[in-house]
Chain A
Amino acid sequence: MPETHSPPPATPHAMKRRDLLRGGALLAASVPAAGLLSACSPNRVAPAAGRPVRGGVLRVGVSGGSAKDTLDPHNPLSYPDQARVVNLYEPLFHHDAAYRLKPFLAESLEPSKDGRTWLLRLRAGVEFHNGKTLDARDVIATLRRIVDPKAPTAGATSLSVVDAGRLRRVDATTVEIPLKHPYALLKDLLAQYSLGIVPEDFDLRKPVGTGPFAYKSFAPGDRSAFTRFDGYWRRPAHLDELHIIDFPDDTAKINSLLSAQIHAIDNLPPAYIDMIEKQGGQVLISETGSWNPITMRVDTPPFKDVRVRQAFRLIVDRPQMVKQVLGGQGRVGNDLYAPFDVAYNSDLPQRHQDLGRARSLLKAAGQENLTVELVTSGGIGSGAIEAAQLFAQQAKGAGVKVKVRITDSATFYGDRYLSWPFAQDYWFTRNYLPQVDAGSLKTSPYNETHWNDAEFNTLMDRARRESDASKRNELLKAAQRTEYDRGGHIIWGFKNQVDAYAANVTGFTANRNLPLSNYEFRNVSVSG
């Protein structure tokens, strides 16, 4: 993931890109995902310990962080920012551990018949850290802060459908949300961790939210401390204090855990799993929907010819990719994203490597002995360069010469980002429609493959307006088939989230959202 590397000198574009990657991680499907997390992934989770211990300080080592660290609820950039934001503030909706959409500070959100006005009911009796009770006014102020045209935040683009000027307080716990045009997935839009609700008089110097931990101290690029919020609307946390410590370097992070200076770390490189376990630590593995596609521009030779795209999808040896690039910590993909979406099209047959067919497709396309340049960068995230190199090896089998070009992050996400004919990218877990909005439409901000398919566009347009969930899912499945047949992504796998913690820590469970149980430390306790 990009965050396991020290932050590169980012261009404004790159910053926006990372905002989206991080900020959009919790976008959800219109319908709750069906699968239960326990049924499908983690082979190592926290053993069910005895009663949690009350009190104590949890010190967590989090990847990345810099002098640009922030406590701004609506602009988290790095992993440490995410960890702080999740504990201080809470959005109206959220995704649970299995990535199912659930109400959080909201109790319900219902559309009018025409789908243009929504009525939001808030949970009653929720208090902010300063003792103030959550009111409809706070929600309106928060939504206006997010889309403020003078200082738009990370969530501004996705909430652009909300007509912020006409938000109306019906009573203390009811808000009327008018939309600029009908949109069936408003709940998903509101279920991002970067859309935490703050009080009307929010002051970033004394940040106040409704989360299980309240602000104590903050040193950008170094560490931050939080205390248990006893007035929390659910059962308060077990811990007295939470310390979040920045670790731009993986080795230092692992050493700190091994020497018991910290209790838990996120983003453990898979190579260290056995070592941590041998030394008595615990490893937390969570299945996720994050993916590291190889992107082919469908409007540029040689990938303009659909046969070349199909051939390249048959070149990749997916199980080998998962085994070598992810150290086995992941699962094979089928050139489709949004695996947790209830509309995920699992009827389509799994693609396997077929070098003979790839060769004949390339021959038919007049592209035998093809040479292409695959642009990659360490800034895309861990595994990107490795995946590119392995793909280059696999391509030799089909007579294709892939020249891997490694660029620095600023170059990759610079002026030519989104115009590379053959490159890679990284996306966090999303459900289908939000992912399409972000990367598969002509108007999407990050359409790396320049995908603009007439049939696909029509299907998406119908799906977005369709309020009947089952009809909508059929439309989405049909849209996935067009991408499966002629799209520009090579989606070879999905990555597991791997984190680690000390033997005396309990309460972490597998989670499909952010690392370390979505950075939720309310259930965590430290003994001894």
Chain B
Amino acid sequence: MAVFEVPRKATAGIAAAPAARRPRLRGALASGRTWVGGALTTLVTGVAFLGPFLAPHGENDIVGAPYSDSAPATLLGTDYLGQDVWSRLLAGGTWVVVTAVLATLLGMVLGVAAGLAAGYARGWADEVIMRVCDVILAFPQIVLVLVLLSVAGPERWLVVVVVGVSHAPRVARLTRGMTTGLATREFVQSAETLGESRTRILLRELLPNMSAPLLAELGLRLTYSVGLVASIGFLGFASDPSAADWGLMINENRLALAVQPWAILAPVLAIAVLALGTNLIADGISRAAAGADHTEGASS
């Protein structure tokens, strides 16, 4: 028993390292850019989720002549088919936001799992996982997504899976890099000496110590997801071609940029603000993490 007690104390002492993550997050929240990013993201997300209930017309209602910038009872004019641009803007964000968030979460879970496993196990498992990642990374992300979608058809769940999988290798690389660094730290070695299970070490010792960089990565991946999902819509891979969708709206109305610019600018602005918001949050977290790392590095 006594033999066990000493290392336990030691572990507790060394394992104090994870506590450093809190100041990092607090630092992120103190940053102005995080708040601005949060506000922008909330704004667009709010439009995406509440918009469908506030739209004055149905997304497919014909309210005037096509590409009219002065049709009665329309705020932003009409689109290529005479539908209300404002109503379609309000109705068309859900797909982009939900798909981007789900795809990002999937990509993070897969990437973190693969990165942790590779970085901690090392050896052949590391080789196999990272080479698979290299193969996926060899394809430009949008090309990979389009190839898979054109083969299997534009199903909504498939967009989530494909975008998520295309993110995973990038997250895995980052996670693996941090894992290999942390795996040689004393608190991990102590946990190993104590005979803690591998899963517990990965989830309780390693993962919490990467939370800030991973959160920053999450924000970054979300930004890319927004762009990718909007691009997929733009290229016509939305599952319901009649439904309002910000990406698709840009494509549908692109011909009339000079005649009825709102039909294009409105969805472009929505996507841009969302991407900007998520990026600012990611940036805030990343700067806070870097600052904390710097402080920690300087004190050690």
Contact = CB atoms under 8 A, between A and B. Distances in A.
Whether A and B are associated in the same complex: the answer reads yes
Contacts of B260: 271
B27 interface: no
B242 A389 contact: yes
Given A271-B260, A386-B80, A390-B81, A404 B241 contact: yes
Contact of B81 (A269, A272, A324, A328): A324
Interface in A270-313: 270-272, 274-275
A8 to B, nearest CB: 13
A269 B241 contact: no
A224 B80 CA distance: 34
A86 interface: no
Contact of A324 (B62, B241, B254): B62
A452 interface: no
Size category of the A interface is 20 to 34
A324 B82 contact: yes
Size category of the B interface is 10 to 19
B138 interface: no
B236 interface: yes
A325 interface: yes
Most buried by A among B67, B80, B236, B254: B80
A269 B255 contact: yes
A323 interface: yes
Contacts of B56: none
Interface in B251-279: 254-260
B274 to A, nearest CB: 25
B66 interface: yes
Contact of A275 (B66, B236, B241, B259): B259
A528 B82 CA distance: 40
A390 B83 CA distance: 10
Given A386-B80, A386-B81, A271 B241 contact: no
A274 to B, nearest CB: 8
B79 to A, nearest CB: 10
Contacts of A272: 256, 258-259
A393 B66 contact: no
Interface in A373-399: 378, 385-386, 389-390, 392-393
A393 B60 contact: yes
A408 B62 CA distance: 26
Nearest to B242: A389
Contact of B241 (A251, A270, A328, A406): A406
Interface string A398-438: 00000011101000000000000000000000000000000
Contacts of B66: 270-271, 324, 327
A250 interface: yes
B62 A320 contact: yes
A474 B255 CA distance: 45
A294 B282 CA distance: 49
Contacts of B241: 385, 389, 404-406
Contact of B242 (A254, A271, A392): A392
B265 to A, nearest CB: 15
B65 interface: yes
Contacts of B67: 271, 327
Contact of A271 (B62, B150, B236, B256): B256
Contacts of B259: 271-272, 274-275
Contacts of A404: 241-242
B60 A269 contact: no
Contacts of A389: 60, 81, 241-242
Contact of B65 (A327, A378, A408): A327
Interface in B213-270: 236, 241-242, 254-260
Nearest to A389: B242
Interface in B36-85: 60, 62, 65-67, 80-82
11 contacts: A251-B255, A275-B258, A324-B82, A327-B65, A327-B66, A328-B65, A386-B80, A389-B60, A393-B62, A393-B242, A406-B241
Interface of A: 250-251, 254, 269-272, 274-275, 320, 323-325, 327-328, 378, 385-386, 389-390, 392-393, 404-406, 408
Give the 9 A-B residue pairs with the shortest CB-CB distance, closest first.
A271-B67, A324-B82, A271-B256, A406-B241, A389-B242, A271-B259, A393-B60, A404-B241, A327-B66
Interface of B: 60, 62, 65-67, 80-82, 150, 236, 241-242, 254-260
Given A251-B257, A385-B241, 14 more contacts: A251-B255, A254-B258, A269-B255, A271-B255, A320-B62, A324-B65, A324-B81, A324-B82, A327-B66, A389-B81, A390-B62, A390-B81, A393-B60, A393-B62
